[in-house]
Homo-oligomer: A and B are copies of this chain.
Amino acid sequence: EKVAKMLELKKKLGEEQKPGKFVIKCPKGTRDYGPKEMAVREAVFGTIIESFKRHGAETIDTPVFELRDVLLSKYGEEGGKLVYNLEDQGGELLSMRYDLTVPFARYLAMNKISNIKRYHIAKVYRRDQPVMTRGRYREFYQCDFDIAGEYEKMLPEAECLKIVDEVLNKLDVGNFYIKVNHRVILDAMMSVSGVPKQQFKTVCSSIDKLDKEPWEKVEKELIDEKGLTKEVTQQLRRFVLFREEATDLDDIQTLDKMMEIEALRTNADFKKGTEELKVLFNFLSLYGVTSARFEPSLARGLDYYTGVIYEAVVEPSEEVRKTIAEGAAKENQDSGEASIEGQGLPTGVGSVAAGGRYDELVKGFSGKKDSVPCCGVSFGIERLFAIREAQLKCKDVPMRTVATEVYVASAQKNLLEERMKLCRSLWDSGVRTEMAYKRNPKLLDQIQNCEAKQIPLMLIVGERELQEGVVKLRYIKTREEQDIPLATLVESIREALLKA
């Protein structure tokens, strides 16, 4: 028995390196971003960051790993299972962050900050089963915007939803809407339906599948796996599918209509949640947000939400969906990840942003006294990338991956030093300039390079021109050429850039 235990321990250690050749690949569930992907990524980040700044957010950054105790105390059982641990190499026990919210709460508690509006864009890590076709990776970016502080009810929530609405409109990713629900409304529906309190969480995670699966399948799971009775699921059904039964009502009318149900009306939780949501929807109309929609079946997984919760869902065009699925299938194949689930699966509706109110998270760190109410939203950026990449592929838009404005070329041999001097003048004046790294590059190669990289201008050095104190300027698009005096090189280039 001792030996068996030893072997098990040894297996757990797994420190021995396997000898011999190894495969050159990225770790499972991760990927490289090449220049083209980076160009898309930076454009998407740019749009999101501009929206965060437009709403007055500051930015912070925290380490990629945290003390293990800090993380595990907050992610609960579900999250905890997916956390990457660092090996114990002596010293503190560390784990990699699973989201940016717990590190944010730790930052607030540690620095005793009671109000801040901040964004944080960084990678997070989940040892999940990767599904590339759905943009689900083990390493992925989150773009978080959060408002911490004791404020007028629903104002921070309204601003978070305004930002989601702005970003998804600006990114032009297709039809989208934002499902909105309230933690205490969920609790009320459970309680009124007769779900035992300790079952709320697990029932919620079944309910949450209603956007992908029909009620019958979810109900079967609730009865067979979660042990609910048919009576209870029938009650639940009435609430969570309320909007499907009354499609002509708007959000406030729906809430009012639900209020007519005796059991809900007399439930304090339901009353509180409904009142808050009504304030929220009023604020949203002042902010011009028409994409939000009360959805009683929305149930977000994480433990720490205490108030309004929301999730934005995008429905890309059929063409875009197909392109994503093809690209991801190819990627899986290339990386030899045959085992990855969901290969070739059609990419359907996907959540691209989600969040809510979490008033107790910071308190858990800093002790009972100070509670810092928080509310935020996190963009699931990998899906937005995937949609943008597919859109560009469909439209066949050529991506620029360099910012070069001028390419310094030569038509004859032995002009390396002259090209270098020109580059220097332009660099020193702040003009983005490149040249070939060969001593005697061919003119055709240099022109082709400019065309491939979409560099707008080319300077062609020649001996005749140098003697005359000029250099030839070529507009790559129009192939127009003109001589410009070396004496006013930078000014001429600046003018030409405006025209090119």
Chain A interface (Cβ < 8 Å from any Cβ of B): 2, 5-6, 9-10, 12-15, 17-18, 22-28, 30-35, 38, 41-42, 53-70, 72-73, 84-89, 91-94, 96, 106-107, 109-111, 116, 118, 123, 125, 127, 139, 147, 149, 151-152, 155-156, 158, 162, 166, 283, 286-288, 365-366, 401-404, 416-417, 420-421, 423-424, 427-428, 430-434, 437-439, 453
Given contacts A401-B58, A439-B152, contact A63 B286 (CB under 8 A): no
Nearest residue (CB) in B for A72 is: B17
Known contacts A57-B402, A93-B14; is A139 also within 8 Å of B64 by CB?
Answer: yes
Q: Is the beta-carbon distance between A152 and B86 smaller than 8 angstroms?
A: no
A51: min CB distance to chain B, Å: 9
Q: Is the CB of A87 within 8 A of B89?
A: no
Give the most central of A38, A139, A437: most B CB within 10 Å: A437
CA distance A403 to B62 in the complex (A): 21
Report B-chain residues with C-beta under 8 Å of the C-beta of A166: 427
Chain B residue at smallest Cβ distance from A107:
B32
A110 and B24 in contact, given A12-B13, A13-B9, A72-B17 (Cβ under 8 angstroms): yes
Q: How far is the CB of A97 from chain B (nearest CB, A)?
A: 11
Interface pair A32/B56, CB less than 8 Å apart: no
CA–CA, A277 and B160, complex, Å: 57
Contact B30 A63 (CB under 8 A): yes
A32 touches B62 (CB 8 A): yes
Nearest 5 interchain pairs by C-beta: A14-B88, A56-B434, A151-B437, A35-B58, A30-B63
**A416 near B32 (CB under 8 angstroms)?**
no
A61 touching B88 by the CB < 8 A rule? no
Most buried by B among A6, A12, A56, A109: A56
- CA gap between A156 and B283 in the complex, in Å: 57
Quick one: closest B residue to A87, CB to CB?
Answer: B85
Q: Which of B22, B57, B118, B439 touches A70 (beta carbons < 8 Å)?
A: B22
Contacts of A156 in B (CB 8 A): 437
Q: Assess whether B25 is in contact with A110, with CB atoms less than 8 Å apart.
A: yes
Cα separation A426 to B489 with both chains bound (whole Å): 42
A226 to B443, CA, bound (A): 55
Nearest-neighbour CB distance to chain B for A170, whole angstroms, equals: 10
The answer to whether A437 and B147 touch (CB under 8 A), given A87-B86, A416-B152, A420-B287, is yes
Tell me, rounded to whole Å, the shortest Cβ–Cβ distance linking A218 to chain B: 30
**With A and B bound together, what is the CA distance between A18 and B88 in angstroms?**
14
Taking CB as reference atom, which chain B residue is nearest A430?
A: B54
Contacts of A428 in B (CB 8 A): 288
Q: Considering only CB atoms, which chain B residue lies closest to A91 in the complex?
A: B28
Query: In the bound complex, how far is the Cα of B31 from the Cα of A158, in angstroms?
Result: 32
Question: Is B63 in contact with A31, judged by CB distance below 8 angstroms?
Answer: yes
27 contacts between A and B (CB under 8 A): A6-B9, A15-B85, A22-B70, A23-B67, A24-B110, A28-B92, A32-B60, A32-B61, A32-B110, A35-B59, A35-B116, A53-B403, A54-B427, A54-B433, A55-B427, A55-B432, A55-B434, A56-B403, A56-B404, A56-B434, A63-B139, A84-B87, A84-B89, A86-B86, A151-B438, A152-B437, A287-B423
Q: A31-B63, A287-B420 given. 6 additional CB < 8 A pairs?
A: A22-B69, A26-B62, A26-B66, A27-B66, A84-B86, A89-B127
Partner of A24, one of B14, B139, B365: B365
- A14 vs B127: C-alpha distance in the bound complex, in angstroms? 20
| A92, chain B: closest CB distance, angstroms | 6
Is the beta-carbon distance between A53 and B402 smaller than 8 angstroms?
yes
Identify the closest chain B residue to A425 (Cβ).
B288
Contact A56 B152 (CB under 8 A): no
